[in-house]
Amino acid sequence: LLTNWTTLVFKVYANPEDLKLSEKKDLKTNLNDPDVERVRRNHLNDIENIIPFVLLGTFYVLIKPNPWVALMHFRAFAGARIFHTIAYQLALPQPSRALGFLVGYGICMSMAGQVLMATF
């Protein structure tokens, strides 16, 4: 959603057929707009981290963890990813974005460890 919004606001289109969405007729396709590219990279980073979390979370729930502990894992991961997304989009100075990533990564490792211990 943010990628589409940024594309429409800045009138930066990657595909020729999308140029018809604009009233301006002198536009050309652009694959290098810094604002749109930042949003796109942010989105790709979210996908790269959220999909493994969902897979791990599925296995984690199957081992029937303490509901409160599971809820804290899920909330903390969501908070870390939201913080990471905001830090990425606003270009906050490092290590802010790295901390958001590391908290999420640590939560995934905690869940993976519990799944492995319950399995073996």
What pLDDT digit, counting tens, does each position of 1-13 carry? 776 677 767 777 7
Residue 18: pLDDT band with limits 50, 70, 90: low
Q: Does some domain include residue 80?
A: yes
How far apart CA 76 and CA 106 sit, in angstroms, is: 10
So what's the pLDDT on residue 69?
96
CA distances from 30 to 9, 17, 22, 33 (A): 14, 13, 14, 7
Q: Does some domain include residue 14?
A: no
Q: Residue 60 sits in which domain range?
A: 33-119
Q: Does some domain include residue 7?
A: no
Among 24-28, 67-71, 107-111, the least confident range: 24-28
Q: Does some domain include residue 18?
A: no
Q: How many domains does the chain have?
A: 1
Encode pLDDT of 44-70 as tens digits: 999 999 999 999 999 999 999 999 999
Q: Does some domain include residue 15?
A: no
Q: Residue 32 has which token pair?
A: 């290098």
